[in-house]
């Protein structure tokens, strides 16, 4: 999976969610942290964005994974960091499936 494609898709989804919710959306770039910089982007919206993203990129992202916050540091991820995290996650899933086969 290409991080650039994931990033572009994620930006499109985040923008659409804000529009559909009637909320402001700041100009989105790879440096933006959705959790901190997008109005009302909270734990109720994260799973929706994650599910739409998984559908769009035709990938499986587990429901218990918060792609927008680093589990270890508890720090919000930027859009670029989120895209890289998703690519790493999908690569690990692929390797696990290959090892199990």
28-71 tens-digit pLDDT = 999 999 999 999 999 999 999 999 999 999 999 998 899 999 99
pLDDT of residue 13: 98
- Is residue 1 within 8 Å of 94, Cβ to Cβ? no
- Report pTM: 0.94
CATH number given to 3-95: 1.10.1200
Write out the two tokens for 74.
Answer: 């508890």
Task: State what percent of residues in the chain have pLDDT above 90.
Answer: 91
Query: What is the distance in angstroms between the CA of the first residue and the CA of the last residue of the chain?
Result: 21
- Give the C-alpha distances (Å, rounded to integers) separating 43 from 5, 25, 75, 92: 24, 17, 14, 25
What is the domain partition of the chain in residue ranges?
A: 3-95
Confidence of residue 97 (pLDDT cuts 50, 70, 90): confident
């Amino acid at each position: 999976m290409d991080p650039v494609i994931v990033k572009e898709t994620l930006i499109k989804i985040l923008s659409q969610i804000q529009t559909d919710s009637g909320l402001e959306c700041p100009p989105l770039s790879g440096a933006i942290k959705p959790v901190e910089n997008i109005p009302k982007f909270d734990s109720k919206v994260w799973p929706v964005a994650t599910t739409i993203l998984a559908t769009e990129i035709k990938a499986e992202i587990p429901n218990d994974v918060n792609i927008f916050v680093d589990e270890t540091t508890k720090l919000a991820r930027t859009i670029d960091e989120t895209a890289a995290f998703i690519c790493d996650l999908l690569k690990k899933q692929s390797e696990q499936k290959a090892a199990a086969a």
